[in-house]
Amino acid sequence: MAFETLNFDVQDGVARITLNRPETANALNLAMGQNLVQALSACAADRSVRAVILTGSGKAFCAGGDLRGFSTHENDLPSHLRDVTTWLHVALSYMARLDAPVIAAVNGAAAGAGLSLACASDIAIATASARFTMAYTRAGLSPDGSSTFFLPRLIGLRRALDLSLTNRVLSAQEALDWGLISRVAPDDEFVAQVDALAHELAQGATRALGAAKRLLWTGWNESLETQMARESETIARIASTRDAREGIAAFVEKRAPRFQGE
């Protein structure tokens, strides 16, 4: 499957989406938003996909919105940005609803929409040299890309306000300390660690992983009783899967489970 602004392939149960506009530091434009939707839709439709890696080509993960491109829409910028964010937000909804865990492999600068993509992933692993900044208000714009939903939940409202209003730049270690990302890897070990994590997740009970991540996010918005009811309904549904039966049998037989993602 060929795309204008990204590379996409699936091997051994792992889909790799690589933002591929290195000449712009992988800045997000309308075509990239559309391509992300198409790639993630393909992941959702392909039962063999059991983990997803989202990364960038070149030295950057994603520098945010394509401001140079936006500047050519001076007369219709509001409607153009509405189109761009609509596609981006559909892509982010796919990420949240996939059973397959999504790993943001932050290989360099993550600014604006790039930081938003990292926040919306299930696990974010960054190179030691990566940097993170909101950057929206520096360009006179407000945040998008689900950042106002995920960022306060990840790091707290006070710190989210700090990043949004001052556009301070966090190192990878600071981002880890704040809870913005999950892990930091030395630059020379980054690709190997990302691949190892993706293949580990791809061997898991995919339906249970998807259920777990959705339960964790809905827990922010529900009462205790409602959330426990969701838990009961979900575990009962997941118990009917092949992987649940395999996981229980493996425990009883004292062996490693052989999950099939079904």
Q: Please indicate whether residue 89 is annotated as part of the active site.
A: yes
Q: Please indicate whether residue 199 is annotated as part of the active site.
A: no
Q: How far apart are CA 175 and CA 62, in angstroms?
A: 16
Q: How far apart are CA 220 and CA 224, in angstroms?
A: 10
3-11 long-range Cβ contacts below 8 angstroms, 24+ apart: 3/35, 3/38, 3/39, 4/31, 4/35, 5/29, 5/31, 5/32, 5/35, 6/32, 6/35, 6/36, 6/39, 7/57, 8/39, 8/42, 10/46, 10/48, 10/49
With CA atoms as reference, report the closest residue to 112 among 95, 90, 128, 88: 88
Catalytic one of 99, 122, 144, 243: 144
Catalytic one of 80, 89, 162, 199: 89
Token pair of 60, please?
């950057």
Q: Which residues are catalytic?
A: 89, 144
